A = this chain, B = another copy of it.
Amino acid sequence: MLMPEISKLGHVALITPDLEKSLWFFRDVLGLEEVERKDGTIYLKAWGDFEHHTLSLKAGDTASVDHIGWRTKRPEDVENFATLLQTAGTNVQWIEAGQEAGQGKAIRFKLPSQHSFEIYYDIEKPLAEEDRRSVLKNQRYKSWNRGVSPRRIDHVNLSTSMDPGVIHNWLSENLGFKLREYIKIENGPVVAGWMSVTNLVHDVAVMGDPQAVTPNRFHHLAYWLDNSQDVLRACDILRENGIEFHGPGKHGITQALYAYVLDPGSGHRVELFTGSYLIFEPDWEPVEWTEKDMAVGLTYWGQEIDPVKYPVNSHTTEG
């Protein structure tokens, strides 16, 4: 059996207690395109996303992340991941083709932290309706149609009350994620790690949060914009719409230029994100940051996230 591989982050399935407001936020303010509604779930994507959707919204009593979807490299990888995960003691649940709009059969399972992941290969990549279609053949929807208008989904960031190093190792051993950068307490444990299977610095980050009330907290979902100025323009748009956010700022770690904004319908945090860098070196040595590097590491410059003020926006995931 050829070792199965993850090719990329696919989508995030969010549950929101105020579907209408979340839809307003993601579609009208952020400017994502609505692709389809099916069985009470609304599917959205950015204009530069190719897959059927990169976000779904569904009403629920409390805000949570239903699952985070990852695409494999080959069709047979889904089955092979199922086998390997079960062999390693992870409970795997099969999802029928079509249960999620536009998507083939998939598996769902939980990390040791109880974060819920989905793995699939088959996914539609529909063209947009003609009047919303870009004039460019390498782009789905017209860009800049509405609101912030990010290009594509970029990464997810998870936090946990567990030792995050356990999750980093699990993601490395079971799913092939490579550690790219991490924060380590001097003579102590790793407290945060950024990991990827692509040339991005991170497709997923897992950060320790000792005060988290559950091990499976969701820190944020990130959408990519092409230019720093596009993030500053987003700040104006958010303020004009009365929406709370933090930033702009730049992390030293990952070199991300960011604004962090809360979906007013659910409290889920979204990062509007550009900058960063790509890793092409096959022998990349993970970059270690310790306490003494934190003057430039977490907040290189700009406004930082205030964890005291916004504890609410970090939600449990329910598989």
Contacts and interface: CB of A to CB of B under 8 A. Distances in A.
- Tell me which of A9, A255, A274 has the highest count of chain B C-beta atoms within 10 A of its own C-beta: A255
A168 B160 CA distance: 47
Nearest to A197: B280
A164 interface: no
Contact of A199 (B48, B198, B238, B287): B198
A178 to B, nearest CB: 13
- What number of copies of this chain does the assembly contain? 4
Interface string A137-161: 1110011111000011000000000
Given A7-B281, A282-B71, A138 B255 contact: yes
Contacts of A282: 7-8, 71-74
Contacts of A9: 280
A181 B137 CA distance: 10
B242 A135 contact: yes
Contacts of A135: 239-240, 242, 252, 296
B302 A302 contact: yes
A83 interface: no
Contacts of A232: 228, 232, 248, 250, 257
A136 B296 contact: yes
User: Looking at chain A's contact residues, is the secondary structure mostly helix, strand, loop, or mixed?
Assistant: mixed
- Tell me which of A50, A139, A151, A227 has the highest count of chain B C-beta atoms within 10 A of its own C-beta: A227
A79 interface: no
A205 to B, nearest CB: 14
A287 B181 contact: no
A288 B253 CA distance: 38
A19 to B, nearest CB: 22
A40 to B, nearest CB: 28
Given A228-B226, A229-B228, A303-B302, A278 B199 contact: yes
A215 interface: no
A239 B137 contact: no
A233 B151 CA distance: 13
A294 to B, nearest CB: 11
B239 A301 contact: yes
A252 B71 contact: no
Interface string A120-145: 00000100000000111111001111
Contact of A288 (B71, B137, B142): B137
Interface of A: 7-9, 48, 50-51, 71-74, 125, 134-139, 142-146, 151-152, 181, 198-201, 226-230, 232-233, 235-240, 242, 245, 247-250, 252-255, 257, 274-275, 277-278, 280-282, 287-289, 293, 296-297, 300-303
Given A7-B280, A138-B181, A227-B228, 19 more contacts: A7-B281, A8-B282, A50-B281, A72-B282, A125-B281, A135-B242, A135-B296, A136-B255, A137-B289, A138-B253, A138-B287, A143-B236, A144-B236, A144-B237, A198-B199, A226-B228, A226-B275, A232-B248, A235-B301
